[in-house]
Chains A and B, each alone.
Chain A
């Protein structure tokens, strides 16, 4: 069964610092990988996705992620954190054989300190 592991349920950074949120997946076949963000009392918004092709994926709000098959990782980064980035971030995986369902990681709460 596929699963997604997000290392660190809480990450705290200073404004302007690098943001790194970690995600590892287990899958027997190359999956589709996603990062979603959830602001308080809201639904999920897609930040970026990896389907095929280029392994470095750029998303919205300055975020990017790199698919590393050898490490089964899809870490999310942003060079300079902004206060508005404070939210919960979810990594998700989808296999074609899983009937389009998304399997989510536990989530990482990002705090940005002034």
Chain B
């Protein structure tokens, strides 16, 4: 069974640009989560999508946005990039909310560098 996949592996942008990160969940999983792992800030929850809808959002500005497609894959968009957006962005997937316990499986991450 294929795990969670993310693309690209690395992404280099300059300040003010936009970045798009992609995530494909494990087959059968309908929930996708995004986390940011920035140096010195630890792992922070960004967004949660389930069945195509945004279910929860962490404490991030609106320039962090995303969506989930009908095939449950997801995209994270970061607009007006700032230097402090440089981080490893991790995607996780799980079975949907109808399950009483839905373990999250993580992808390898996308390393975003903002110059």
Contact = CB atoms under 8 A, between A and B. Distances in A.
Interface residues of A, number: 22
B58 A101 contact: yes
Interface residues of B, number: 25
A44 B106 contact: yes
Interface of A: 32, 36, 41-46, 49, 51, 90, 92, 98-107
Contacts of A32: 101
B68 interface: no
B61 interface: no
B103 A46 contact: yes
Given A41-B108, A92-B43, 12 more contacts: A42-B108, A43-B4, A43-B107, A44-B92, A49-B103, A100-B97, A101-B33, A101-B45, A101-B58, A102-B104, A104-B44, A107-B43
Nearest to B90: A43
Contacts of B31: 100
Contacts of A103: 45
B48 A44 contact: no
Contacts of B74: none
Nearest to A51: B101
A33 B95 CA distance: 18
